[in-house]
Chains A and B, each alone.
Chain A
Amino acid sequence: MFELSELNALLPEILVLTLTCVILLVDLYGSEQRRGLIHLLSIATLVFAAIATLRIHEPGQTVESEILLNGTLVRDQMGDVLKLFVYLVMGLVFVYSKGYLRDRNLFKGEFFVLCLFGMLGMMVMISAANMLTLYLGLELLALSTYALVALDRDNRLASESAMKYFVLGALASGMLLYGMSMIYGATGSLDLSEIAEGVRGASGDNLVLAFGLTFIVVGLAFKFGAVPFHMWVPDVYHGSPTAVTLFIGSAPKLAAFALAIRLLDDGLGGLHGFWQSMLILLAVASLAIGNIVAIAQTNIKRMLAYSTISHVGFIFLGLLAGTQEGYEAAMFYAIVYAMMAAGAFGVVILLSRAGFEAEDLDDYRGLNQRSPWFAFVMLMLMASLAGFPPFVGFFAKLQVVKAAVNADLVWLAVLSVVFAVIGAFYYLRVIKLMYMDEPTTDEPLRAPVDLGTVLSANGLAQLILGMFPGPLIAICAAAF
Chain B
Amino acid sequence: MPIETIIFYAFSSVLVLSALAVITVRNPVYAALFLVLCFFTSAAIWLLLEVEFLAIVLVLVYVGAVMVLFLFVVMMLDINVEPLKEGFARYLPVGLLVALAMLVEMLAVLGIKRFGPESFPAPPPHPAGYSNTRELGELLYTEYVYPFEIAAVILLVAIIAAIALTLRRRPETRYQDPGRQVQVRKEDRLRVVSMEAEKR
B161 contacts A144, C-beta separation under 8 Å? yes
- B146 touches which of A10, A114, A117, A151 (Cβ 8 Å): A10
B153 contacts A150, C-beta separation under 8 Å? no
B165 contacts A17, C-beta separation under 8 Å? no
Question: Among the listed stretches A48-56, A134-142, A335-343, A451-459, which one makes contact with chain B, having 4 or more residues with CB under 8 Å of it?
Answer: A134-142
Among B130-153, those with CB < 8 Å from A are 142-147, 150-151, 153
B interface majority secondary structure: helix
* Chain B residues within an 8 Å CB radius of A185: 114-115
User: Known: A10-B146, A130-B147, A208-B109. Is A140-B154 also a contact (CB below 8 A)?
Assistant: yes
CB-nearest residue of chain B relative to A130? B147
Is the CB of B158 closer than 8 A to any CB of chain A?
A: yes
- B147 touches which of A72, A117, A144 (Cβ 8 Å): A72
CB-nearest residue of chain B relative to A73? B146
B147 contacts A147, C-beta separation under 8 Å? no
* Band of interface residues on A: 35 or more
* Chain B residues within an 8 Å CB radius of A24: 160
B154 contacts A139, C-beta separation under 8 Å? yes
A72 contacts B146, C-beta separation under 8 Å? yes
User: Known: A140-B153, A143-B154, A185-B115. Is A132-B144 also a contact (CB below 8 A)?
Assistant: yes
Is the CB of A194 closer than 8 A to any CB of chain B?
A: no
A24 to B144, CA, bound (A): 27
- A133 touches which of B114, B147, B157 (Cβ 8 Å): B147
Quote the shortest CB–CB distance from A409 to chain B (angstroms).
28
Is the CB of A124 closer than 8 A to any CB of chain B?
A: yes
Is the CB of A46 closer than 8 A to any CB of chain B?
A: no
A69 contacts B157, C-beta separation under 8 Å? no
- A140 touches which of B115, B145, B150, B165 (Cβ 8 Å): B150
B161 contacts A114, C-beta separation under 8 Å? yes
CB-nearest residue of chain B relative to A143? B157
A70 contacts B109, C-beta separation under 8 Å? no
Is the CB of B98 closer than 8 A to any CB of chain A?
A: no
A130 to B145, CA, bound (A): 13
Among A294-352, those with CB < 8 Å from B are none
User: Known: A114-B157, A140-B153. Is A69-B145 also a contact (CB below 8 A)?
Assistant: yes
Quote the shortest CB–CB distance from B102 to chain A (angstroms).
12
Encoded as 1 (CB less than 8 Å from any A CB) or 0, chain B from 156 to 184 comes to 11101100110000000000000000000
B109 contacts A147, C-beta separation under 8 Å? no
User: Known: A144-B157, A208-B109. Is A2-B150 also a contact (CB below 8 A)?
Assistant: no
A153 contacts B150, C-beta separation under 8 Å? no
CB-nearest residue of chain B relative to A120? B153
Quote the shortest CB–CB distance from A436 to chain B (angstroms).
44
* Chain B residues within an 8 Å CB radius of A211: 109-110
Binding site for A on B (CB under 8 A): 109-110, 114-115, 142-147, 150-151, 153-154, 156-158, 160-161, 164-165
With A24-B160, A114-B160, A207-B114 given, name 7 new contacts (CB 8 A).
A2-B145, A69-B146, A72-B147, A124-B150, A147-B160, A208-B109, A211-B110
Name 18 A/B residue pairs within 8 A (Cβ), A-sorted.
A1-B142, A2-B143, A108-B164, A114-B157, A114-B161, A117-B160, A130-B147, A133-B150, A136-B154, A140-B150, A140-B154, A143-B154, A144-B157, A144-B161, A147-B160, A147-B164, A151-B165, A185-B114
